Amino acid sequence: MPRIKRTLAGLAAWALLSGVAGSVSAQGLPSAPITLGNGLLTLGSQVDVSAGPSDYEGWFNYTDYQHDALRLFRAGISGAFRTGTHLEVLGDVRAEADITEGEWILRPYALYVRVRPWAGRAFDVQAGEIPPSFGAFGRRGYGVDNPLVGMPLAYQYLTALRSDAVPSSADDLLKMRARGWLVHYPIGNPAAAPGLPVVNALRYDSGVQVHVGSRLAELSVSLTNGTLAKPLFRDDNGGKQLSARLALNPTVGLVLGVSGAHGAYLARAVTDVLPPDLRDADYAQQALGADVEYSRGHWLVRAELVMSQWRIPAVNPPYITDPVRAVGTYLEGRWRIRPRIFLAGRVDHLGFSEITGSAGTQSWDAPVTRVETGGGYHLQRNLVLLAVYQHNWRDGGAVRTLGTGSVQLRYWF
């Protein structure tokens, strides 16, 4: 019954939102954001329909919403309401369903207030479910700016870590190696559930953000309830995350970014059941990032590095004495060979540090490499058909290599 209710709610809400947009333009599909009330309200939308063979054996493209990222129907509508020169309310509601299972998730992706104290200056304060202040891909992961269907591993691939359950020893963690799609541990929530990505690009965190910019530089600093791996609407541990990103624009077409974040990731449901001498430690996710983007003519090239570490309670031997680490890197490019046609590709890797268990030393999760390549054809300016092929390699798990294709129809206004 709960699934049926969620499905009906999702369909009804999306029908209502689509009806509002559709009533504005009887000429056909909108090609630009819709403005109402002399510009006070602006509405936009994006719809993605992706299809391909199932990945429900290798789980390489599985997300924390328990959907295959290459087999989705995803639709969203965003709005901005300006109450004056200094105040704006922004929101984004999204519906998502696996194309084969049909269970819908309807959720607010973003909902925040933006205050600009001084008109004409690039300074604002945002509060609510806010855009991230870390990395590059998370700021464009759902949008027309992704030249492929899949996502970089650091922003999507599920690791063997959870925030509501932890291993009691190194052996417990190594048993879940390459099983991020369904993880269970003895401390905390005993139910099996998906693990955490390094950075979650499918959810916004809640908190406060300060943004300041100029032609040459842009800085965002946020204080939020969750962490990069586990954004939260409500705080679950009494801790906060501090994150920041500085982007430099030294010349036309070039963007250089650096990021950092630190925040408590373990839920109170875990720390409260730890031995007394372990409860007050700083169980944090710490991360550093660097990104670069360069565009010239028909070319666009991007690269990003994400380094993260988590501290895990050392409860039983063999102990996990040092923080576990993950490093994600990717390089992607897009070449527009005709006004309507482009080719794109991404080379991607996610590696993990080593720990020592009873059977020896190995990485705490299985390193993964991904290559994705394909192209797109613009049926019109804001309607594009993409076709990609993706190949994954992994050092562990029941399925160690997987090649799969996917097609996507993407529309936005």
Angle, alpha carbons 55-61-62 (nearest 5°) = 90
The candidate with the shortest Cα–Cα distance to 187, out of 44, 313, 7, 368, is 313
pLDDT digits (tens, 9 = 90+) for 41-69: 999 999 999 999 988 889 999 988 888 99
d(CA 267, CA 271): 7
What whole-number distance in Å separates Cα of residue 206 and Cα of residue 128? 5
Q: How many other C-beta atoms lie within 10 A of the C-beta of residue 290?
A: 16
Give the helix/strand (H/E) hosting 404. strand 401-412
- Predicted confidence (pLDDT) per residue in 175-217, tens digit: 999 999 999 999 999 999 999 999 999 899 999 999 999 999 9
Range of the domain at 51: 2-412
Q: What is the torsional sign of CA 134, 49, 157, 175?
A: positive
Weakly modelled stretches of the chain, pLDDT under 70: 1-28, 101-102, 141-143
- Helix-, strand-, coil-residue percentages of the chain, each rounded to 5: 10, 50, 40
Tokens 């009873």 belong to 358
Question: Checking DSSP bridges between strand 360-363 and strand 354-357, what pairing results, if any?
Answer: antiparallel
pLDDT at 197: 98
pLDDT at 351: 98
Q: How many domains does the chain have?
A: 1
Instruction: Report the CATH number that the domain containing residue 340 is assigned in CATH.
Output: 2.40.160.10
Neighbours of 282 (CB within 10 A): 10
pTM reported for the whole predicted model: 0.90
